[in-house]
Amino acid sequence: MSQLPLRPLGFGEIVDGAVQIYRRDFGLYYLIALIAAVPGYVLRLATGVDATSLPDPAADPVAALGQMGSVFLVLLAGLAIAWVGMVAVATAMARRIDERPASVGHSYRDSLGHLPGAAGAGILAMLMYGAALVVVFLVGGAIATVLASSGSTFLGVSGVLFLVLTIALLTLFWVAATFGILPAVIFEGHGATAALERSLKLCQGGWLRVIGIMVVALIIQSAPSLGITALVGMDLFTSPEALDTVSATEQWLINTADLVIGPLTTPYMIGSMMVLFHDRRVRSEAFDLETLAGEMEAS
């Protein structure tokens, strides 16, 4: 990784390093992410699927269930294609970090070889996360129920808070544990299981650091979508009836704005993972010394 310093990086240096990588080839990364976002946008337009199209469950439960299924499938397809774009962005970024040329077409073509490993590792991580959630719901739910049945409002609220905090902590650790999947697949050529194991190994001794970096990256990545949602008012989060006030034109404007603005922050998320992966290798495996030794031997 010749573009990255061969030394341990501070928290701010990792954040700034991701920004610098992104700025260097902004047009390339943005175009790759934008191309991947277009199919989902077209699917929503072609099918007319959005939050405002859902019928009233009380009036027609069967129609509402079917429409919810359609919304889920359309959104899932869009997310899957957007994820392929993320792999393509990571592929292009890996080449540019190594000072090699990259283009939109070559990035998508080269990413095809990384899709099985990245997808397999992601699915395996999701299954493990889901299994852990089931255990948390069973154990935490039982504890919350016992506390709530005590008749004390304080204990009841404490039980609910305990369950919520446990789920939140589990989610944070899952996000951190999977940070290195794409870099491990692209930089080191690992398969699904090996990539997940590699990511977990690099987290050892630095869980809080990895969690902190990933939380910052997730906040920055989600900022555009949250800002666009705010255009229709925060009532959407507290009052489902507010969905009826969003017209088809407003929904189209929201979707279009999300299409154009959303891909702006995806490369930053990828860049954060790449720089963090490099930092964890330097800190836990002396990757900097290994690289310098290899360069000296080559010269």
Position 257 confidence tier, pLDDT thresholds 50, 70, 90:
confident
Position 160 confidence tier, pLDDT thresholds 50, 70, 90:
confident
- The CA–CA distances, whole Å, from 159 to 138, 147, 151, 162, 169 equal 13, 6, 12, 5, 15
Q: Which residues contact 116 (CB under 8 A, 6 or more apart)?
A: 191, 192
Query: Is the entire prediction scored with pTM above 0.85?
Result: no
Q: Which residues contact 225 (CB under 8 A, 6 or more apart)?
A: 258, 262
Angle of CA points 72, 116, 267, to nearest 5°: 70
DSSP 58: T
- What span, in angstroms and rounded, lies between the C-alpha atoms of 274 and 151? 51
On whether the CB atoms of residues 109 and 172 are closer than 8 A, the answer is no
Average pLDDT taken over every residue of the chain: 83
Residue 104 has a pLDDT of: 95
The H or E element that residue 218 is part of is helix 207-229
pLDDT, mean of residues 178-198 = 94
Q: pLDDT tens digits for 232-251?
A: 554 444 454 554 555 667 67
Q: At 254, list the tokens.
A: 């929201």
pLDDT at 201 over 80: yes
pLDDT, mean of residues 6-19 = 88
